[in-house]
Structure 1
Amino acid sequence: MPPNSSLQSLEIVSLISIGKHPQSGRERRAEQDARAVELGLAVSQGNLTVLHVGNAQQNALRHYAGMGLSEIHVLEAPTHADAMAPLTDYLHENTPHIILTGVRAENGESSGMVPYLLAEKLGWPMVSRIANIVSIKDGIAEVLQALPRGQRRVINVALPFIASVDSAAPEARQSAFGPASRATLSVQTCAIEKDDVAENWTETPARKRPKRLKIIKAKTAAERFKAATAKPQGESGKVMVKESDQEKAKAIFNLLLEEKVIR
């Protein structure tokens, strides 16, 4: 990023969660949250606050600290607590310019709704799946958003804002043992609302949805080979830019009905 005098006073908060290794199931730093920390370190010029809601004794927090952090802020909370209330209170008291998160957590609900709920409560704009923050000038950030099939889109958004960091963002640096052991965990107790509903849930590993098989009607061997090696194309996709909010909402609702997500 080119040097900019406005970056000297820029305050960025990166929200982190405890990840889970897909094979061993061991706790680790969440990959997308680590990318959010990496992006925050690159943009903030050292003025980065890393925030976690949960148990301060979890070893995975040290994996984030090993990225070169001197301090991690922890809002102490039990496992099944609702993190939205303490997060909102903290961000109201310590208002940053940018909040970075991963797209979704690797544990718990993994719904990816945290940045959207925070944006609603704070009244800030929300930018999803960014790959980089290109520049910040006069209170406007130029953000590079990741799109499907490697495409990118430049978006201008006014500060303050919330952004989820995509896997297309720069990969997080390795965690070093020395900085991880020297970092300070600043623990803050706060009022926590108990989530009685989540305590009664039974969690199971998420599974990928099966892909629909395309029926091949080819008769000859050459036609079957061509159909098998043809590049899949999304025929039902549609980019809606100038349409009204009602038309966009109706298109999303119809898609959910077609995919049988809702009935």
Structure 2
Amino acid sequence: MQPDSSTGLNGKGQDLKIVSLISIGQHPASGRARRAEQDGRAVELGMTLAASSSTQNLTVLHAGDSQQAALRSYAGMGLESVRVLQLRESADAVKTLSEYLHKHAPDIILTGVRAESGESSGMMPYLLGESLGWPVVSRIADIVSIKEGVAEILQALPRGQRRALTVRLPFIASVDNAAPEPRQSAFGPANRAFMEQQQCHSEPDTARNGWSIVSARKRPKRLKIVKAKTAADRFKAATAKPQGAGGKIMKNQPAAEQAQAIFDLLLEEGVLR
């Protein structure tokens, strides 16, 4: 799809078609269904972009059960409607979303980095990008400007750093926790919003049927044994910030050599056994 050019976030020129994908979140302590934190930030960013357009062409889209009460938390951010592609729990949402997005051809698709419930693999934006043939920008903090069909994006890096990127529309972006916090959800707008249901033909996720889902557990941190002669040296070693030494940048090496380096690192870190 060849996107129309736009002049940026000033509300002039070609209007943008934005889709923010949402999912059902899960509170880390109580386990209750809620608005997913990163998906809420994706909706907040979509509303900011849509506010610069005269038509405010933002679609908040969910694939699943329209009766989930947590969807009202997104609507309470000030949305007039939430569109739901009605699917069974065992259905594969990727194919249904791909068909919908291919048909409606938005300019920007915003998602969270990963869901808070279900598989939580973080593969959704990449699978959609592969299906649609669009570029994927991971962990963005903000979209600074859009001009002549090219978006300037700030990508979130560790320790508060940012990387400036440019990408041509259309594209998919996963929104990091560094993005602006979502606005509070109000009870009145949440109840007044229209839940637009769309029945879809779905195929069962055959691979998922054989899985057993358990709660994720944090891996223990690797202890670094420091031999120090004095108490001051031991205190300095214990409070020192970890350094990013030992990294390796590979740009011009053959693909096979780069793949082998990644494989060796996974073996060294114990990810592969």
TM-score range, shorter chain: over 0.9
Shift of 1:67: 0.5
> Structure 1's 242 and 153: CA in aligned 2 closer, same or farther, altered over 3 A?
farther
Match of 1:199 in 2: 209
1:131 and 1:242 map into 2 onto residues whose CA distance is 29
The one-character-per-residue Cα deviations of 1:144-194 (angstroms, maximum 9, x if unpaired) are 101111110110100000000000000000000111001011111111111
Letter in 1 for 2:77: M
2:12 to 5, 9, 28: 5
1:101-150: CA deviations, max 9, x gaps? Answer: 00000011100000001001100011000000000000000011011111
Secondary structure of 1:100's match? strand
1:61 matched to which residue of 2?
A: 71
Q: Which residue of 2 aligns with 1:75?
A: 85
Task: State the SS of the aligned residue for 2:242.
Answer: coil
2:162 paired residue number: 152
Tell me by how many angstroms 1:257 deviates: 1.9
> CA contact under 8 A between 2:9 and 2:146: conserved in structure 1?
no
The unaligned stretches of length 5 or more in structure 2 are 1-7
Task: Within 5 Å, give how 1:172-183 maps onto structure 2.
Answer: 172-183=182-193
8 A contact 1:96–1:160 mirrored in 2: yes
Match of 2:31 among 17, 22, 25: 25
Root mean square deviation of aligned Cα: 1.6
Give the superposition deviation at 1:19.
0.2
TM-score normalized by structure 2? 0.91
Question: Given the superposition, is the C-alpha separation of residues 244 and 169 from structure 1 closer, same or farther in structure 2, using an over 3 Å criterion?
Answer: farther
**How far, CA to CA, are the matches of 2:249 and 2:156 in structure 1?**
15
2: CA distance, partners of 1:11 / 1:91:
11
Structure 1 Cα separation of the partners of residues 258 and 45 of structure 2: 31
CA contact (8 A) 1:146 1:168 kept: yes
Query: Which deviations, in whole Å up to 9, do the C-alpha atoms of 1:196-220 show, x marking residues without a partner?
Result: 3323422211111111001021122
In the alignment, what sits opposite 2:260?
Answer: 250
CA positional deviation for 1:224: 1.3
Matched-pair contact (CA < 8 Å) for 1:4–1:137: no
Match of 2:62, SS state, is strand
Question: Counterparts in 2 of 1:35-46, with a 5 A limit?
Answer: 35-45=41-51, 46=56
The answer on 1:128 being equivalent to 2:143 is no
| Aligned partners of 1:56 and 1:187 also within 8 Å | yes
Per the TM alignment, residue 18 of structure 1 is displaced from its structure 2 partner at its CA by 0.1
CA distance in 1, matches of 2:254, 2:94: 31
CA contact (8 A) 1:4 1:136 kept: no
Q: Which runs of 5+ in 1 are unaligned?
A: none
- Distance in 1 separating the partners of 2:200 and 2:22: 18
How many residues end up aligned between the 2 structures? 262
Q: Does 210-219 or 26-35 show the bigger shift?
A: 210-219
TM-score normalized by structure 1?
0.95
Distance between the aligned counterparts of 1:2 and 1:26, measured in 2? Answer: 37
- Secondary structure of 2:78's counterpart equals coil
Q: 1:106 to 1:5 in 2, by over 3 A?
A: same
Provide the residue aligned with 1:102 in structure 2: 112
The 8 Å contact of residues 22 and 39 in structure 2, kept in 1 or not, is answered as yes
Q: What fraction of aligned residue pairs are identical, expressed as a percent?
A: 66
Displacement after TM superposition at 1:241 (Å) = 4.8
